[in-house]
Amino acid sequence: MASAILGILLVLVPLLLSAEAQARGNLTLGNSLTANDQNSPLLSLSGEFAFGFRKMGQGAHLLAIWFEMIEEKTIVWSVNGDDLAPEGSKVQLTANRGLVLTDPRGRELWSSNLNATGLAYAAMLDTGNFILASASHVNSWDSFSRPTDTILPTQQLDLDAVVRARYYEMNYSNGRFIFRLQTNGNLVLYAIPTPLVVSDAYWATGTRGNGFRLIFNQSGQVYLTDRNGKLLNKVTSEEVPTSVFYQRAILEYDGVFRQYIHPKMANSSSGWAMVWSMVFPSPFKYMHEYEPRYWY
Ligand SMILES: *[C@@H]1O[C@H](CO)[C@@H](O)[C@H](O)[C@H]1NC(C)=O
Ligand SMILES: *[C@@H]1O[C@H](CO)[C@@H](O)[C@H](O)[C@H]1NC(C)=O
Ligand SMILES: *[C@@H]1O[C@H](CO)[C@@H](O)[C@H](O)[C@H]1NC(C)=O
Ligand SMILES: *[C@@H]1O[C@H](CO)[C@@H](O)[C@H](O)[C@H]1NC(C)=O
Ligand SMILES: *[C@@H]1O[C@H](CO)[C@@H](O)[C@H](O)[C@H]1NC(C)=O
């Protein structure tokens, strides 16, 4: 009898815990999400953004953030593209290291690599930002400060921030192209140099010494400012009503930076429409804009 009750408890307790982990908005300390077919992601309060695992193939999952309420479920951030997580992998919130992604054998695939104290919860926000915070709401980490290939309205990039294209449409490994606000203030697009190919920027704002922050603002414009917040350079020009459209700007695998919008109405038949794209200018025009950086 006692062992039967214990048996029931052993079955029930993990169920209760996983139900808690899937509550809207928050992943609390010690809880985890599991990469499998049953697992549901963590949703933002509005339900518009989700954090969790996306199946990329048989038993291969990508830890990602995506637009949840549209058919395409477009991914805007991801981490383990070159080391996909096998079935049964877990991402757990720890008090000191933040998020830790491990496979079923306990091998670590990725972590947020923090050295913090007292992390208490992780939350998927309605902006698309995913944060790790203490019980007193101090943020130690957020996905907006560590973009992959996409930026969203209200996101900002500071000096040395890198947006990196993925390898191919459905391959989330690192690609060759980089959009970067260099430490010298110049905002550039370039291909990563290889031992055989020297690189130079194929697009640049030429704002060395002045560029300080890239802003994707609430009305959908992307622009560069100086240290005092003065507008230096408009990267995109469209003003888009964010109340009726989802938006994203992405450095695509072909090296072109594009801005897309999508109607928010769930039953809309139209998908993403491009509203802006950076043309491929002559590479020679931007000689010597590239500031070498150590890639690892
Ligand atoms: C997440 O948990 C924190 C701390 O308990 C709370 O203040 C916050 O409102 C929660 N957020 C959501 C989206 O539930
Ligand atoms: C974490 O921070 C503490 C206190 O600053 C330090 O003593 C410790 O060596 C750090 N650990 C790692 C792994 O960096
Ligand atoms: C993505 O491309 C890289 C580079 O070619 C390759 O090594 C990797 O296996 C690909 N990943 C997938 C999931 O196909
Ligand atoms: C966004 O930036 C543009 C260009 O600087 C500006 O005209 C617009 O008012 C800004 N919108 C918001 C909501 O700040
Ligand atoms: C789409 O959804 C909206 C609001 O949910 C509704 O008002 C509208 O009638 C729907 N349109 C169609 C074609 O179903």
Per-residue pLDDT band at 77 (split at 50, 70, 90) = very high
User: Is the pLDDT reported for residue 295 higher than 80?
Assistant: no
HSE, side-chain direction, 13 A CA sphere, residue 160 = 5
Query: Ligand 3 centre from 84 Cα, in Å?
Result: 10
Per-residue pLDDT band at 39 (split at 50, 70, 90) = confident
Return the sign of the alpha-carbon dihedral for residues 75, 176, 132, 95: positive
pLDDT at position 16: 40
CA distances for 278 relative to 78, 189, 214, 294, angstroms: 23, 10, 16, 26
User: Is the pLDDT reported for residue 294 higher than 60?
Assistant: no
Q: What mean pLDDT do residues 138-162 have?
A: 96
pLDDT at position 237: 75
Kindly report the protein residue whose alpha carbon is nearest to atom 11 of ligand 3.
171
pLDDT at position 202: 84
Please tell me which residue, 200 or 232, carries the higher pLDDT value.
232
Rounded to two decimals, the pTM is 0.85
Ligand closest in space to the Cα of 267:
5
Query: Ligand 3 centre from 209 Cα, in Å?
Result: 38
Q: What mean pLDDT do residues 64-86 have?
A: 96
pLDDT at position 34: 95
User: Is the pLDDT reported for residue 13 higher than 50?
Assistant: no
Rounded CA separation 97/104 (Å): 19
| In the chain, % of residues over pLDDT 90 | 65
Rounded CA separation 187/159 (Å): 9
| Ligand 3 pocket member 167 (CB < 6 A) | yes
User: Is the pLDDT reported for residue 278 higher than 90?
Assistant: no
Rounded CA separation 142/127 (Å): 12
Q: Which residue type, as a one-letter code, is found at position 162?
A: V
Tokens of 252: 């695509």
Ligand closest in space to the Cα of 244:
5
Query: Ligand 5 centre from 70 Cα, in Å?
Result: 14
The conformation of residue 283, written as its DSSP 8-state character, comes to G
Rounded CA separation 215/238 (Å): 14
> Residues with Cβ within 6 A of ligand 4?
217-219, 221, 223, 231
pLDDT at position 291: 65
SS3 138: coil
List the one residue out of 97, 110, 142, 113 whose CA is nearest residue 35: 110
How many other CB atoms sit within 10 Å of the CB of residue 13?
10
CB 89 within 8 A of CB 81: no
Average pLDDT of the chain is 86
| Ligand 1 pocket member 121 (CB < 6 A) | yes
Q: What mean pLDDT do residues 208-214 have?
A: 95
pLDDT at position 280: 61
Domain 25-144 class, CATH top level: mainly beta
pLDDT at position 14: 42
What is the best residue among 121, 124, 127 to mutate for testing ligand 1's pocket, by most ligand atoms within 8 Å of CB? 121
Kindly report the protein residue whose alpha carbon is nearest to atom 5 of ligand 1.
135
Kindly report the protein residue whose alpha carbon is nearest to atom 9 of ligand 3.
82
Kindly report the protein residue whose alpha carbon is nearest to atom 11 of ligand 5.
267
The domain ranges of the chain are 25-144, 147-296
Q: Which atom of ligand 4 is nearest to the CA of 231?
A: 5
Q: What mean pLDDT do residues 236-247 have?
A: 85
User: Of 11-20, 93-102, 194-203, which gets the smallest average pLDDT?
Assistant: 11-20
Per-residue pLDDT band at 286 (split at 50, 70, 90) = low
Q: Which atom of ligand 3 is nearest to the CA of 172?
A: 1
Domain spanning 147-296: CATH 3.40.50.300: no
Q: What mean pLDDT do residues 40-61 have?
A: 94
Query: Ligand 4 centre from 130 Cα, in Å?
Result: 24
